Structure 1
Amino acid sequence: MDGFYHVDQAMDTSPKDPYVISLIYSVVALFLLIPPQEVRSAGLTLERIFQNQLGSESLDFVGYHMRRTTLTRLVALLVPFGYFAILSLYRPDLLKVTFVYTGLLVSLAVAVLAIAFSLYYWRTKWASHPLARTLAKHGDNWRFVAGNINTEFRRIDKFTTGPTSGRVIVTESWLIKVGIFTVHVSKLSETVLALQNSALISNAQADVLQSVQRLSIKVTSANTAVGDFMIHVPGLEYRDFRSRLPFVHVVNVRGVTVQQTVGEQFVAAFIEQADRNNIYRLDPNTELDSCLGCMVARPDAKLVKLCAADEDGDCRNCRCRPQWCLSCMARWFASRQDQHRPETWLSSSAPCPNCRSRFCMLDVCRVVEDTAR
């Protein structure tokens, strides 16, 4: 029976051992096509190696990703031929094995076709590239659509999240998913999003292993020529992501719960504590302006020293009239804390945003109208 070894042969652990060659080649190919963060930090990626040929993503987003996806596909399709070629070079006797000989010929044919298609894209000035065909579904002239995307991508107000293998970008008019081999594009005015599920993903930050929520969202376009695709957004970034899509309908029929940020959790705890404190009764005839923080809500927060006697502790009585709502007061309080130690926020203090008298969460009262008067 054909094979790498005869049964009676002792296992060879030299560098020419096919298993050693296969292992080393697989690791190198995997790191080249899907590099981990450590490899990216070292600059050992296709994008960095061929940065002069690929150009600038910020100046020519569409053109850059046409060249990048073409290069990535080409390298991926050359990997099998490289494997069999190296295997045959180090162990010529393996060419007698049917699997190796057939694999070499088939991978050579695939490599030739990959090079031919890459040259074809280049000779047609990228008009035949899959991304060009994708953009053509959004307008009669794909180059006009590409120009619009390039212009919006250069603006600083775009939203970007996710790893390189599935980066999500939201511009003024477009939702884009950048993958390793493909780029998906959907026009925001034609887009409907559906929350599918959530999962906890391990994420190492500052040598601490944390679980981060990842939301899977299905993107569907009213344009039937545009196929559906999936994007993944971290739960802590979902509200920022959602704020960039004011006119996009989001469906959550499965009742997916989105993880709150630390700031949102603190605001909820701050308001809950204020509701446990004494209430501040306000004369119903007193006129109040809108909250100084959001300029929308009615002020419903009043600072009254309740944590200790008047002269005890760091907190002081505040003489300001109600000018802030509880949500904005909570955000102000959080902004004055050590952002790297959120576990200390509940027991800390902050200055009044107006008179700078210090207060803690025990000094925050909800304002209610005194209907008894």
Structure 2
Amino acid sequence: MDDKSLVLPGAIFALFSIAMIWPPDEFVSAGATFEHLFYRWIGDFSLNIVEYQLRKILVNRVCVACLPALFSLYIILNVPPTALSTFVATAGLASMIMGLAYAFYTISTNFSQTRQVKELALYGGDVHRLMTEITQEYLEFANFAVSFAHSSREVVGSHWLIHITRFDFTIVNLTDVVFEVVRSATVDLNIERPNDQLQFLIIEAKIPHKNIKSFRFRVRTDQFRDLQDRVAAPIGMARNVILHQSLNERFVKAFVSCIDKNPRAVYSRLGELEPCFGCSSEIPNVKIEKRCTSIIEGARECRQCFCRPMWCVGCLGRIFAAKQEQERPDIWLDGQATCPTCRAEFCMLDVAFVVAEESQLDGNF
């Protein structure tokens, strides 16, 4: 048996390794991931998100370092010794030994020598107190969060930005971060409709006043606007980047233009309204009131909605768009949707901007 006998098992092992390092949805749902195998030791992220991430990335790194040892074991048991097989087997065992040594050192120092803990120490004070503060903020409902294929996650809270990947993570205070959109990428959602595209923006987060390495992450264009509302400082834009409006954004703009022509709805308790149930950043400014009289053939009759204003016009427009036939955006404005709370059917004519007094009914909103 020559060195060619390593090709097939080597290819199989490579595919297995790729699936474990970047697991597809099927592996994740089946629990076939490194972090799931060690979930008891990793712990619960709601208790301490920093320690949870430190343990998780340690598990991922060490398991990847130990993967070649499985191939080494196969070679030792099934392949006659040759110069190549001996080298591959030795390299695999050496990788495992270095991975285990790294794990022993990291655990024995209680993670105090990790990059993340050292960077938190730059902010002064008790590091464990900062971890508690970051955990509490991470669990807040109103955070801006975006994830991509189990490989990365960005969480922007009131004070902290957490950048998480499978093998690393970074935590920085928002006041130290300078954001800049460095480039964009466009994906066609439907080859039959060239204008139906999804634009991603690559954002670089720089930390010029701290000894913390910059990093990049990506968001959709619609998510970018939410991010802008979340961070206090303006986000820079490279000269070659042009923001495109998504199909939903174009519809929301048309939605607002249409309902602006509808009569206003009086609601005397505007000052008592809580933030929009969808975005939590705007005050509800529209109400659903049955005003239409005609019935479209094949459609259900609109019903009266008795809910108080709970949504801003942007969120209600996006909800309306989501309820339409996605392959026919040309008829969305003529469609119907259901109230997110009481499920009453309504159409475009039933949506009205709210005003506090009767005297404002004829004025502009």
- For the criterion TM > 0.5, the same-fold answer is yes
Equivalents in 2 of 1:114, 1:331: separation in Å? Answer: 48
Residue of 49, 73, 77 corresponding to 2:37: 49
Any idea what SS the aligned residue of 1:227 has? coil
Please list every run of 5 or more consecutive structure 2 residues that lacks an aligned counterpart in the other structure: 191-195, 264-269, 277-281, 297-308, 339-343, 353-360
| 1:25-81 superposed Cα distances (whole Å, 9 cap, x missing partner) | 112211111101121122211122211111111222111111111111111112223
The percent of aligned pairs where both chains have the same amino acid is 21
Name the structure 2 match of 1:186.
172
Name the structure 2 match of 1:102.
87
For the 8 Å contact 1:139–1:145, the answer to whether it is kept is no
Name the structure 2 match of 1:136.
121
Any idea what SS the aligned residue of 2:161 has? strand
Residue of 258, 261, 266 corresponding to 2:243: 258
Name the structure 1 match of 2:332.
345
> Within 5 A, what are the aligned runs for 1:1-373?
4-5=3-4, 17-94=5-82, 97=83, 99-163=84-148, 164-201=150-187, 212-245=198-231, 247-254=232-239, 256-270=241-255, 335=319, 339-341=323-325, 343=329, 344-348=331-335, 360=348
**One-letter identity of the residue aligned with 2:68:** P
Any idea what SS the aligned residue of 1:39 has? helix
| 1:330-360 superposed Cα distances (whole Å, 9 cap, x missing partner) | 8656656762535342123689xxxx9x875
Equivalents in 2 of 1:93, 1:27: separation in Å? Answer: 24
Any idea what SS the aligned residue of 1:92 has? coil
Any idea what SS the aligned residue of 2:111 has? coil
For the 8 Å contact 2:200–2:220, the answer to whether it is kept is yes
Bigger CA radius of gyration: 1
Query: Given the superposition, is the C-alpha separation of residues 329 and 216 from structure 1 closer, same or farther in structure 2, using an over 3 Å criterion?
Result: closer
**One-letter identity of the residue aligned with 2:42:** L
Equivalents in 2 of 1:203, 1:110: separation in Å? Answer: 42
Any idea what SS the aligned residue of 1:216 has? strand
Query: Given the superposition, is the C-alpha separation of residues 83 and 211 from structure 1 closer, same or farther in structure 2, using an over 3 Å criterion?
Result: farther
Equivalents in 2 of 1:38, 1:123: separation in Å? Answer: 35
Normalising by structure 2, report the TM-score: 0.71
Query: Given the superposition, is the C-alpha separation of residues 87 and 265 from structure 1 closer, same or farther in structure 2, using an over 3 Å criterion?
Result: same
Normalising by structure 1, report the TM-score: 0.70
Query: Given the superposition, is the C-alpha separation of residues 201 and 134 from structure 1 closer, same or farther in structure 2, using an over 3 Å criterion?
Result: farther
Deviates more, 1:329-338 or 1:144-153: 329-338
Equivalents in 2 of 1:87, 1:40: separation in Å? Answer: 29
1:18 Cα deviation (Å)? Answer: 1.9
1:255 Cα deviation (Å)? Answer: 5.1
Any idea what SS the aligned residue of 1:162 has? strand
1:142 Cα deviation (Å)? Answer: 2.9
Please list every run of 5 or more consecutive structure 1 residues that lacks an aligned counterpart in the other structure: 6-16, 205-209, 281-289, 306-310, 315-323
Equivalents in 1 of 2:81, 2:31: separation in Å? Answer: 37
